[in-house]
Amino acid sequence: MRAIIEFLKRFDYLIFLPIVVLLTFSVFFVYSAGINSYGISVSNEWQKQIIWASIGLMMFFILTVIDYQRYRDIAIISYIINLLLLLAVLIVGTKISGAKRWLGLGPFGIQPAEFAKIGFILIIARFLSSYGRNPRHASTLGITGLLVLLPMILILRQPDFGTSMVFLVILGMMLFMAGGSALLLTFFVTIIIWFLLLIFFPLYFDLVKERDIWITTLLSSPYWLGWVGAVAFVIIIISLVGWFTYHKWIYLISVYLSTSFGIAVGLTWLAHQRFQTYQWDRLRVFVNPQIDPLGSGWHILQSLTAIGSGGVYGRGYLGGIHSHNQFLPEQSTDFIFSIILEETGFVGAVILLLAYGTLLLRLLFIMSKSRDKFSMLVIGGTFSLLLIHVWINIGMVIGLMPIKGVPLFLLSYGGSSVLSMMILLGIVSSISLRQYR
């Protein structure tokens, strides 16, 4: 009896409440997404979502009850099982739209890639929290690199470029939290900023302003990029010489900027070489959806229209025409947010953003109060996973990010995404229960 009261007192409602809100929305609006224009339900996804949500809540409670140290113990095993599942899906998985992502179990299939994130977070957390591991050491980086490469390669073979990249981001975040240098992180961020500029600047001028200025040709052709890279290289050398000779601040900044720029140029060059047409199309359509309103721009335009037409109060539950008239593809999964916003309006948007915001900030809070490195890192991994997906999915749906189909955790229909996030949150909940005073 006492245990129960204690449990109820320590239980982290700030994690639980947003989860409930999100799952409820999820069930209701997956149902709405399955209604056709005559008002007849043509899909039973909502029923499956109820099952997933129920199983997820069950697992959440079970995991909360179990001491989180156990999870540390099983980290390695889980990781290995994950790898085996990833291997299995490559061999016996079902091929859908050219990718092998599913292991079917009757009408209920799972995506091992989603669950692999759990094992990955656990093992990295365990590894980085083991005695004496410093992320600034090469050995640490090397081993973590290996640990991330294995699942990444297996996932890339499916092929699923996006999901594998997520692993890298999670790793980066966990390294950062484990003590990686802030400077290094900002350096990476600078590279990314240069890279984005180099990629999008020409696209913007080409597609929106429709003007050809010499910079655009300069930056889009591999040949000229080579020259730009060479110039950057020269500047690096000069700056280095300057720094070592004169020890003036300005040379250091120059080194920083030019090196990051140089690397970005290299990446841009790689991008132009390696990016497929469809990936370029996505970027082009992101910059200006109107260039292909019936093809690759369709998703963005439909999503924006659906959201915008929701107004302040929405079109009412089951009142959205985009969902019901089948205008938005993937409306129960990737674009569930658009459907919800069409029917609930700005009010609904605020509620959902608050739910996610609460969840994310709560995760940070628990992280700040964590008693050991392992739990901090597990929470960090979970946090970054959730943040990335929220960022990409909602960003895409509202037109601030290029189209990349990642599920919106706890809202999108899909057993694997619901369960994997519920498991992770269950672990976090277990930590919170035991650590937070």
Partner 1 sequence: MIDKFVDKGKIIALAVITVTLLIIFTIRIFYLQVSQGLRFLNASGSISTVSQILPARRGLIYDRHGEQLVFHEDFFAVYVDMRAIDSEDNLIQLRERLKHELELSDSFLDRRMPWSEAKPVTEAVLIREDVAFEKIAYFAENRELFPGVQWQPRSKRIYSEEAGVAHILGYVAEISEDELQILYNDGYRRGDRIGKSGIEKEYDRYLRGAPGRQYFMVDARGQRIHEIEDARQLAQNGSNLYLTIDMRIQRLAYDALAGRRGSVIVLRPSSGEILAMVSNPVFNANSFSERGSRGLAAQIMDPNFPFINRTISAVYPAASPFKIITETTILENEAVSPDFKVYCPGYINIGNLTFYCHDRNGHGWQNLSDALANSCNVYFWTIAKDYLGKDNRGNSDPSKIADIARDFGLGAYTEIDLPGEKSGIIPDRAWKEDTYNSAWVGGDTMNMAIGQGFVQVTPLQMANVTAMVANRGIIFKPHVVMRVSNEDVGFEHTKTAEVLHQSQISQESWRRLNQDMRGVVTRGTGWVLTRATTVAGKTGTGETGIDRQFHDWFVAFAPYETTNPEERIVVVVQIEANNNYQWWSTKIADFIIQGYFAEQSYHDVLRTLQPWYMNWRAVTGDNLPPRPLPSTAAVLATLEE
Chain residues binding partner 1 by CB under 8 A are 36-38, 40, 42, 176-179, 182, 302, 304-312, 321-322, 324-327, 341, 345-346, 349-350, 353, 356-357, 360-361, 364, 367-368, 370-373, 376, 383, 387, 390-391, 394-395, 398-400
Least Å from the CB of residue 330 to partner 1:
13
Q: In the complex with partner 1, which residue's Cβ is closer, 148 or 390?
A: 390
Least Å from the CB of residue 364 to partner 1:
5
Both tokens of 202, joined, read 């020409």
Q: In the complex with partner 1, which residue's Cβ is closer, 209 or 371?
A: 371
Least Å from the CB of residue 403 to partner 1:
16
Q: In the complex with partner 1, which residue's Cβ is closer, 90 or 360?
A: 360
Q: In the complex with partner 1, which residue's Cβ is closer, 53 or 428?
A: 428
Least Å from the CB of residue 16 to partner 1:
19
Q: In the complex with partner 1, which residue's Cβ is closer, 15 or 307?
A: 307
Determine contact, residues 192/200, Cβ cutoff 8 Å.
no
CA 158 from centroid of its chain's CA atoms:
18
Short-list 429, 316, 411, CA closest to 356: 411
Least Å from the CB of residue 321 to partner 1:
6
Least Å from the CB of residue 384 to partner 1:
9
Least Å from the CB of residue 373 to partner 1:
5
Q: In the complex with partner 1, which residue's Cβ is closer, 233 or 365?
A: 365
Q: In the complex with partner 1, which residue's Cβ is closer, 37 or 217?
A: 37
